Structure 1
Amino acid sequence: MIFSSIFLGAIGPGSWVLIALAVLLLFGGKKIPELMRGLGSGIKEFKDASKDETQDKEENN
């Protein structure tokens, strides 16, 4: 029952602040921009790969 309530929006703004503070304490202020850059480049690569896959399927049909 508790597990399903988390996915239905039980995490409020206060919880997000606590999560952000925990991440800041764990990784430090200098590491977070590096992590975000890595995450952004990973998302960009994923989008590029999915576009290539879609174009390959269109060419084969």
Structure 2
Amino acid sequence: MGQIRWRVKERAEAKGLTIFHLAAQAEIAYNTASGLWHGRALRVNRVTLARICKA
């Protein structure tokens, strides 16, 4: 099975967001945003994913 590649950093930077601002706008923990930003997250729940998409 293939892997999902997190593109959070690229998409957030295109909107002018930093990790801090992404976390604040998405109402998620900074550590969660950082893990996704740097591609270290192994999984993410639906609520977190939805919040990131809306940020």
Q: Same fold (TM over 0.5)?
A: no
Q: Normalising by structure 2, report the TM-score.
A: 0.28
Specify which structure has the bigger relative contact order, considering alpha-carbon pairs within 8 angstroms and separated by 6 or more residues. Answer: 2
For the pair shown, the structure with the greater C-alpha radius of gyration is 1
- TM-score scaled by structure 1? 0.27
